[in-house]
Chain A
Amino acid sequence: MKSISIVFVLFVMLSMVYIIPTVYAEEDDDDDDREGFGEMKREREHQDEGIPIGTDLGNVILYGTIAAIGVSVAYTAFKITSSKRKSSPQS
């Protein structure tokens, strides 16, 4: 019963935390639309991105990382299986 009441209080608090900033954010968006800066701002943000996903360099970094992780996992699995083979008695 105690845990349920704690969860309920947490839920109420977090709901309040959720609602209040969203209202503020919506108000600010309205201001931007009124002034006509919304699209310009979005364009500027897209230009600010460092190495966007989909570009050549971006793909190299992303796929390189995924490949490196794959190689590490495969190497680890290989090491485990090879050590198990060594330790198991020969028939």
Chain B
Amino acid sequence: MTIKKTNPKFIVFSILLVLLVIPPTLAYADDDDDDAEDIVESLGWVAVGAGIAANVPFIAMNKIRRYALKTGSSTMQVAKQIRTVYKPILNFHIMLNSIGYFVGMSHGLMLSRHLDSVSLSLAIVMSVMMVSGLLLKYTSSRNSKLFGKLLHGQFGLVILLASLVILHIVVGDD
């Protein structure tokens, strides 16, 4: 029996086991130990950094490609060049966003004693974006793919997420 054959069950079971790590870390983070809290706080900064690194180049690339396609034949070469690097940048976007999501959620769970409205709202919006991204990536049905695509690219949700992140940083610093 290889790992590849039992892949889904193995992954789910491993995730459940990894979740066991969270309760002891909670005990550390809610403790009065300043070093532990600093580490958990820096997890939040890692999540923010991963989010910026994952999304800014990806959004910029999409905008440039659309602009190049709109303006016509002179910039068509640029659009073609961007198309060749689209897949690696998409994978980079997915990978870094997944890391950012799980790091951010760990940060939130470890500091759950200080839970406030902004943090909860941020967690909800992040989860919605993550679920819509998963729908977009892993579903084969045309309707759910279209639903994921439209929801994941909603400008309003992106603005909401960015403003909640800024608000969370400002409130957290106070």
A interface residue numbers (CB < 8 A to B): 1-3, 6-7, 10-11, 14-15, 17-22, 24-25, 28, 32, 41, 45, 48-53, 55, 57-59, 61-62, 64-66, 68-69, 71-73, 75-77, 79-80
Contact = CB atoms under 8 A, between A and B. Distances in A.
Contacts of B21: 14, 17-18
Interface residues of B, number: 44
Interface stretch (B57-65, B68-76, B154-162): B154-162
A2 B3 contact: yes
A52 B17 contact: no
B121 interface: yes
A62 B1 contact: no
Contact of A61 (B33, B113, B121): B121
B35 to A, nearest CB: 13
A58 B116 contact: yes
A68 B20 CA distance: 34
B116 A50 contact: yes
Contacts of A55: 117
Q: Which 8 A-B pairs have the closest CB atoms?
A: A50-B171, A58-B117, A25-B27, A21-B24, A65-B121, A76-B150, A61-B117, A62-B117
B67 interface: no
A49 B115 CA distance: 8
Contacts of B125: 65, 69
A65 B160 contact: yes
Contacts of B160: 65, 68
